Amino acid sequence: MEIAGQVLALVHLEGEVYAVSGVCPHQGGPLDQGTIWEGELQCPWHHFLFDVKTGANVYPANVYPEDMPQLRLQLKPLRVFPVRVDGGRVYVKLGEPSGPGL
């Protein structure tokens, strides 16, 4: 979904709602069209996985060797936005991203 020029992916996981950037930081894949796989948001293009709570890259971060910095440059985190749910409505604070993807 796009709000105020910002593409977002809203994820309902384990009773909580999370808002993250809807654009994959790897190569711009449409995370707002991604799927949840084992509790992580998966990019439909290259299957990168992200923790929606923190924005951290979960995969391939866990398989890229530390001594290959050119590969590790692809592991940028997602922007994570504060969310409040009130009366069934979801409010996302766009001006204040949080998490490692700032």
H or E segment at 71? helix 69-72
Identify the band that residue 100 occupies on the pLDDT scale cut at 50, 70 and 90: low
d(CA 44, CA 85): 27
Residue 69 is predicted with a pLDDT of 73
User: Does residue 101 form part of some domain?
Assistant: no
Q: Which domain covers residue 51, as residue numbers?
A: 2-92
User: Does residue 102 form part of some domain?
Assistant: no
The answer to whether 10 touches 22, Cβ cutoff 8 Å, is no
- Structure tokens of 68? 């290959």
CATH of the domain at 6: 2.102.10.10
Q: Do strands 89-92 and 16-21 pair parallel, antiparallel, or not at all (unpaired)?
A: unpaired
Centre a 10 Å sphere on the Cβ of residue 71 and count the other Cβ atoms it contains.
14
State yes or no: pLDDT of 21 exceeds 70: yes
Identify the band that residue 3 occupies on the pLDDT scale cut at 50, 70 and 90: confident
User: pLDDT tens, 26-82?
Assistant: 889 999 999 998 889 999 998 989 999 999 998 876 766 677 777 667 778 999 999
- Report the number of distinct structural domains present in the chain: 1
User: Does residue 13 form part of some domain?
Assistant: yes
